[in-house]
């Protein structure tokens, strides 16, 4: 049931046109941050207003929409954004990655590879990868236009000199098509390899910072590194306690006050799909060994 | 045993219901009407209109009621509503010289044409709690006299005749609009003034105060502060001339600032300007001081590195809706990123032998 008081997907058509122009420009110059006249949305800045505006601009009534936050469909802000579009656009929504034509995400890329028929929309808090090295927008824009990325390499080098590793574990900077250094939004660096050569269109929206950028399908995206310190996608060295997956990004869940913990897929749809297909993790209720150990009360985590 | 529970949707609904109940408070106490808020909390209404960038006292009062008196939340409601409104066009510039002044004071002259009019001000009240108000709010009628006829000229015009103050030439170029175009640096004065008019009152006050205490000092006199109603006119294409479409109350502050001259400008007084909706003296004076501080470059002054001189710093951080949204978003789940940090810290600690050191200590 669409709220009739608002235009389809909330924004007026003029605004959508303006955003689409920014998206097209972004797709034409992969990794370049296009300024756009971000609107005030009925949700706070920093809570996905950029992603919401991009989604509003690309959604059509035939689309099926999925929203995830931290990889999960049922985190509160994902629920809130999904219901916003149910109300203002009346589009079909889904939690199944493969069924969605538009996926809005915060902090994760779904585990299941995306297809050419899908658009992945990222919510971006700080679009400028150089921001914490240089706070001035006027300076960072200059650095991008001159392709002057030495500062970033020095920062990564200093990390290695100090810690033996690059001490960036999320929002790990990438270089796009050998030209622009880009912030992939705060996804864990585990997800970085998925950014390159993706079949789907990737759009990045930063509402408060008024920037849109994009990766067209099959774009070359390289995580910054050094020959002797190659980039390494990392995750917790465990398997999912529920579905047994060893290749998915894991959340650590504290299960009791004795330091007990387990690891579960952060991508809830992926985990559910695997469990439905019969995969069982070593702490799943369906696992006989785990069920016997389950004398302790069930821990329910409200998401 | 771990069972993921899906409760987000229900939790949100219940939270909203609880919030509505809390907003209403004790049902045995009479409910506030938006008319009461509009009439009796007028300065709050004025602030919400100013920073919400929408002149509508009824909607501002509704927003204050809905936000339980959290003015930034109310401003947010107004901004989100405002952005959905269609634009019919732009008004003619309002003529504050023709303002029907409720209050008009100048700190630079003892007396002046148009007179000093104190108006409804807290200025000379003693800040003593008035316990009578707790019991009953009846007030005796204030004395009144007929308004003096004619326009009230701007004080800065007097100085202008002598060439003592910088010119503010009339300009007809359409000012930029940061609600329609992304804010980009360098920002011209019109754009800076728009940003400052919408800026958070507290942030603007703090910056203005910092200039008074020496961080980019340029001593300001309040040349004039005036509050009153002005008419808004708009060109209507169908009739071919400007038509009066309404009346709004504004507070305007013009400061006269010390200036000993620079490489490019002769010694003369310079100007700072503040203009806001309703009666918001603190905000308009603050705005004028910050405006003046931001003008260092065009006046050929030195940048002493003061925060109030830094247009990028001021303009990117003055909007309380942007600021509060981003600040509060750290309440949202960040466990994915936190997990990757956990892994990293564990790894670094392992390699630094921190675990062993700790064990040895135990």
Rounded CA separation A180/A178 (Å): 7
> Is A121 in contact with A52 (CB distance < 8 Å)?
no
Query: Each residue of B92-128: pLDDT tens digit?
Result: 999 998 899 999 999 888 888 888 889 999 988 889 8
Residue B3 has pLDDT above 80, yes or no: no
Q: Does A164 touch chain B (CB under 8 A)?
A: yes
How many helical (H) and strand (E) elements, i.e. helices and strands, does chain B have? 14, 5
Is A98 one of the catalytic residues?
no
Residue A109 has pLDDT above 70, yes or no: yes
Both tokens assigned to A2: 């669409």
The beta-carbon neighbor of A47 closest among B84, B182, B332 is: B332
> Is B284 in contact with B201 (CB distance < 8 Å)?
no
Rounded CA separation B232/B243 (Å): 8
Q: Write the DSSP symbol of residue B331.
A: G
The beta-carbon neighbor of B185 closest among A137, A170, A187 is: A137
> Is B222 in contact with B108 (CB distance < 8 Å)?
yes
**Of residues A48, A51, A265, A273, which has the active-site annotation?**
A265
Q: Write the DSSP symbol of residue A194.
A: H
Q: Give the per-residue pLDDT at B295.
A: 93
Q: Give the per-residue pLDDT at A303.
A: 38
Rounded CA separation B337/B334 (Å): 6
Least confident span in A162-176, B27-41, B98-112, B150-164: B150-164
| Strand blocks (E) in chain B | 2-5, 100-105, 220-236, 241-257, 270-277
How many Cα atoms sit within 13 Å of B108 on the Cβ side? 21
Q: Does A253 touch chain B (CB under 8 A)?
A: yes
Q: Give the per-residue pLDDT at B248.
A: 97
Q: State whether ipTM is beyond 0.95.
A: no
Q: Does A165 touch chain B (CB under 8 A)?
A: yes
**Which comes out higher in pLDDT, residue B163 or A211?**
A211
Rounded CA separation B294/B302 (Å): 11
Q: Write the DSSP symbol of residue A284.
A: S
A77: chain B residues, CB-CB within 8 Å: 332-333
Rounded CA separation B37/B26 (Å): 18
Rounded CA separation A291/A284 (Å): 7
Query: Each residue of A258-299: pLDDT tens digit?
Result: 888 899 999 999 999 999 999 998 887 777 655 444 444 444
φ, ψ for residue B34, nearest 5 deg? -70, -20
A75–B82 CB contact, under 8 Å: no
Both tokens assigned to B15: 């939270």
User: What is the full DSSP assignment across A102-171?
Assistant: EEEEES---SSPP-TT-EEEEE-S---TTTTT---HHHHHHHHHTT--HHHHHHHHHHHHHHSS----BS
Both tokens assigned to A135: 């706070």
Both tokens assigned to B68: 């339980």
Q: Give the per-residue pLDDT at A299.
A: 47
Both tokens assigned to A89: 């656009």
């Amino acid at each position: 049931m669409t709220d009739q008081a608002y235009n389809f997907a909330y924004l007026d058509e003029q605004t959508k046109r303006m955003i689409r122009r920014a998206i097209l420009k972004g797709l034409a110059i992969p990794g370049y941050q296009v300024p756009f006249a971000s609107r005030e949305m009925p949700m706070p800045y920093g809570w996905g207003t950029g992603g919401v505006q991009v989604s509003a601009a690309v959604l059509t009534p035939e689309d099926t929409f999925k929203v995830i936050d931290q990889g999960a469909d049922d985190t509160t802000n994902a629920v809130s954004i999904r219901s916003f579009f149910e109300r203002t656009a009346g589009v079909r929504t889904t939690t199944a990655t493969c069924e969605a034509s538009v996926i809005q995400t915060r902090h994760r890329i779904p585990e299941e590879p995306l297809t050419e028929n899908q658009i992945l929309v990222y919510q971006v808090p700080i679009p400028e990868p150089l921001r914490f090295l240089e706070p001035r927008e006027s300076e960072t824009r200059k650095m991008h236009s001159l392709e002057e990325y030495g500062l970033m390499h020095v920062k990564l080098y200093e990390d290695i000199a100090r810690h033996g590793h690059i001490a960036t574990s999320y929002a790990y900077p990438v270089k796009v098509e050998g030209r622009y250094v880009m912030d992939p939004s705060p996804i864990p660096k585990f997800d970085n390899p998925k950014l390159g050569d993706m079949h789907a269109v990737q759009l990045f929206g930063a509402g408060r910072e008024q920037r849109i950028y994009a990766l067209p399908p099959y774009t070359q995206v390289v995580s910054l590194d050094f020959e002797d310190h190659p980039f390494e996608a990392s995750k917790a060295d465990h398997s999912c306690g529920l579905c047994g997956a060893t290749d998915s990004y894991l959340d650590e869940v504290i299960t009791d006050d004795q330091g007990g913990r387990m690891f579960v897929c952060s991508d809830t749809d992926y985990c559910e799909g695997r469990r439905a297909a019969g995969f069982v993790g070593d702490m799943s209720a369906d696992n006989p060994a785990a069920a016997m150990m389950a004398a302790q009360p069930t821990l329910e985590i409200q998401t | 045993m771990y069972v993921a529970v899906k409760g987000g949707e229900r939790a949100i609904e219940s939270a909203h219901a609880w919030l509505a109940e809390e907003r209403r408070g004790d049902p045995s106490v009479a409910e506030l009407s938006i008319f009461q808020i509009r009439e009796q909390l007028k300065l709050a209404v004025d602030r919400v209109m100013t920073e919400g960038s929408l002149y509508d006292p009824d909607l501002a009062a509704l927003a204050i009621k809905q936000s339980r008196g959290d003015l930034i939340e109310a401003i947010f409601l107004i901004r989100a509503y405002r952005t959905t409104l269609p634009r019919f066009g732009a008004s003619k510039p309002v003529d504050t010289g023709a303002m029907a002044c409720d209050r008009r004071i100048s700190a630079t002259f003892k007396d002046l044409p148009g007179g000093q009019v104190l108006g409804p001000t807290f200025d000379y009240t003693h800040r003593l709690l008035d316990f009578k108000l707790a019991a009953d709010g009846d007030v005796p009628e204030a004395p009144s006299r007929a308004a003096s006829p004619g326009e009230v000229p701007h004080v800065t015009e007097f100085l202008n005749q002598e060439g003592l103050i910088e010119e503010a030439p009339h300009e007809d170029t359409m000012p930029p609009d940061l609600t329609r175009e992304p804010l980009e640096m360098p920002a011209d004065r019109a754009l800076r003034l728009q940003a400052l008019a919408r800026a958070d009152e507290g942030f603007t006050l703090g910056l203005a105060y910092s200039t008074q205490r020496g961080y980019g000092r340029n001593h300001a006199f309040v040349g004039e502060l005036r509050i009153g109603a002005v008419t808004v006119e708009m060109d209507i294409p169908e009739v071919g001339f400007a038509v009066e479409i309404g009346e709004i109350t504004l507070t305007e502050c013009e400061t006269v600032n010390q200036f000993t001259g620079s490489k490019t400008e002769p010694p003369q007084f310079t100007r700072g300007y503040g203009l806001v909706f309703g009666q918001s003296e603190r905000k308009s004076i603050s705005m004028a001081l910050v405006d003046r501080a931001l003008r260092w470059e065009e006046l050929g002054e030195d940048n002493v590195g003061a925060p109030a001189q830094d247009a990028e710093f001021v303009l990117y951080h003055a909007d309380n809706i942007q600021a509060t949204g981003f600040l509060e978003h750290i309440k949202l789940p960040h466990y994915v990123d936190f997990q990757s940090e956990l892994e990293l810290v564990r790894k670094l600690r392992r390699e630094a032998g921190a675990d062993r050191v700790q064990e040895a200590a135990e």
